[in-house]
Structure 1
Amino acid sequence: MTDILPQVRTAEPAAEARTRTAAPAAPASRERRTATSATGTRRRLGPGRAIPFARLTGPVLVVLVWWAASASGYLDPRILSGPGDVASTAVDLIRSGRLQSNVAVSLQRAGLGLLFGVLAGVVLAVAAGLSRIGEYLLDGTLQVKRAIPSLALLPLMILWLGIGEQMKVTVIALGVAVVIYINTYASLTGIDRRFVELGESLDLSRLQFIRKVVVPGALPGFFVGLRLAVTASWLGLVVVEQVNATKGLGYMMFQAQLYAQSDVIIVGLVVYGIFGFVSDALVRAAERRVLSWRRTLAD
């Protein structure tokens, strides 16, 4: 009997340890039972597989409702023209070449503003995100600029740069740069410190650290900022093209407002919407290609 007691005492802690070790397995099994339907198949919790061109469903639905309201007489054509009148006006503008010339000028302004703004935003974000001195010098100023709308800067920009193309491109670039900076800087400062310590332990050079740690860590935030920046460039374009402009979509829409031509205004809005949708789709495609190593709910 005395020989058995020590064995029992030693066996009891081992049994308790096995019980404690096995205890967490019970919730997992309950989760598996919960996630499994009555047919024995696992329940899908994600949004499902993406359907090509399914994002066009919303705009198409809006056009159908607009057409139905116009055809039934609920919309006054003097206030909002119907889809048929807008399409006819668009054809006339294309035949006369007026739409193409204005679109070309607007694309040039938005493209230059987007290019300069993205370059400036990335440089500022890298300088502030990788250096305390850069952060102290830049971040506060850019946070203040973020709170100031671009429209409020127009009087000062006109005073400094006049009313020409330089002012228009600068205003667009300022709005784009702030958006790019905010998102890229947030991604840079959000990189896990353990990766930095790992790079230090591997004795990486500054260039290797940027290429292998900083760039992959900042790319998701950069693409989010790029999508917002494309939208910001179009919004800035609408503002600057109504300030002493003689060409551009905004100028065309402003002139149509003076003559109560709602169909011309809607044509301009549709063109803005198409450019915004297409540019966002292009950025999404580039993001999926560059960040193909990620597995997200959007895939």
Structure 2
Amino acid sequence: MTVDLPVLEQTAAPRAASARWSRYARPALGLVLPVACALGWELVVDLGYSNGRLVPPPSKVFETIVELGKSGELTRHILATLWRVGAGFALGVIAGTILGAISGYWSFARRLLDPTVQAMRAIPSLAWVPLFVLWLGIFETSKIVLIAVGVFFPIYLGVMGAILSVDRKIVEVGRVFRLSGPAMIRRILLPAVLPAYVVALRVGLGLGWMFVVAAELIGASEGLGYLLLDGQQLGKPAQILAAIVIFAILGKLTDWLIEAAAAPLLRWQDAFGARGGV
């Protein structure tokens, strides 16, 4: 049985076009809701149903962002916040990964460490602020450590839970093939843990962005959290909303970076979500 090549080419062309359209249409679909809400509120204010004083319209918020950008203030605040989140995220990921892996792989360590970690996880973020100020001062170290604390817990739980949930049958297969300890970790545990680890990284990053606001209440003179507080004290709702919008954009961009970096490592997955779901 032979298949005409022109027929195959005609079938492949629409599929390629559809794939290209899907590649750009799916990310654009995520903009529909925020853009629709922004246009709706702009219309409500324009029609006079609200004066827009306490909740300024998007045009006013955009104007505030442009003004802050022209003055150079916005760049300074964004860089300060990015540095704090990046440093705190790195410290939290290192500590959470190491302790989570030890607790997940070694039952004695889990029984020793996990009760204390779970108790500390229940402590509100703001409760750490006065303690870190006393211990580390009001400068950058206390802010970075506070963010690292927020990042640590989801990473620790994600890594430990992922290791504990590895299918026992897969481990037994590794033992049948007489894999050494390092080989077992590299060929069995790491691939099994990686999907959950990526999710834990994304959750930890989100908490890092949340904790940076609390961190920048510790004597900060720059940063997006400081911009929020300054807008509240001076009665500038447009500045507050501008800072919130920038937080949302930066948070989404950094989350996308983790997704993009992890995608090549997760191509082996044949999961429902890996093919776009329904």
TM-score by length of 1: 0.80
Distance in 1 separating the partners of 2:179 and 2:53? 67
Larger Rg: 1
Q: Which residue of 2 aligns with 1:159?
A: 134
Asked if 1:243 is matched to 2:218, the reply is yes
| Partner-residue secondary structure (3-state), 2:52 | coil
Indicate yes or no: 2:102 matched with 1:127.
yes
Distance 1:161 1:253 in 2: 24
Partner of 1:108: 83
User: Residue 203 of structure 1 aligns to a residue in which SS?
Assistant: coil
Q: Is 2:94 the counterpart of 1:80? A: no
Q: Does 1:52 align with 2:26?
A: yes
- The answer as to 2:251 corresponding to 1:276 is yes
Q: Is residue 290 of structure 1 aligned with residue 265 of structure 2?
A: yes
Q: CA deviation at 1:65?
A: 2.2
Aligned length, in residue pairs: 251
Q: CA-to-partner distance for each residue in 1:200-242, whole Å, 9 max, x for gaps?
A: 2211111101101110111111111111111101000111112
Segment drifting more, 148-157 vs 214-223: 148-157
Displacement, 1:262?
A: 0.8
Residue 196 (structure 1) aligned to one of 148, 171, 180: 171
Q: Greater shift after overlay, 70-79 or 202-211?
A: 70-79
| Structure 1 residue ranges without an equivalent (≥5) | 1-48
Q: Tell me the equivalent position of 1:70.
A: 45
Deviation at 1:61, TM superposition (A): 2.1
Deviates more, 1:284-293 or 1:120-129: 284-293
> Scaled by the length of structure 2, what TM-score is found?
0.86
Distance 1:74 1:288 in 2: 46
Where do 5+ consecutive residues of structure 2 fail to align? 1-21
Residue 278 of structure 1 deviates from its aligned partner by 1.2
The alpha-carbon deviation at position 254 of structure 1 amounts to 0.8
One-letter code aligned to 1:201? V
Give per-residue Cα distances to partners, 1:166-216, cap 9 Å, x unaligned: 000001001101011111111110001112222222111111011011101
Q: Percent identity?
A: 35
The partner residue of 2:186 within 188, 205, 211 is: 211
Indicate the RMSD between aligned Cα atoms, in angstroms. 1.5
CA shift, 1:282, in A, is 2.0
In the TM superposition, what is the alpha-carbon distance from 1:130 to its structure 2 partner?
0.7
When structure 1 is superposed on structure 2, of 108-117 and 279-288 the one drifting more is 279-288
Shift of 1:76: 3.0
Structure 2 matches for 1:229-268, cutoff 5 A? 229-268=204-243
Q: 1:203 to 1:297 in 2, by over 3 A?
A: closer
Larger helix proportion, structure 1 or 2? 2
Q: Deviations over 1:231-285 (max 9, x none)?
A: 1010001111122111111111211111111111111011000011112222222
Question: Which AA in structure 2 matches 1:207?
Answer: P
CA contact (8 A) 2:38 2:57 kept: no
Q: Matched residues in 1 for 2:42 and 2:265: separation?
A: 40
Distance 1:85 1:58 in 2: 20
Aligned equivalents of 2:36 and 2:112: distance in 1? 48
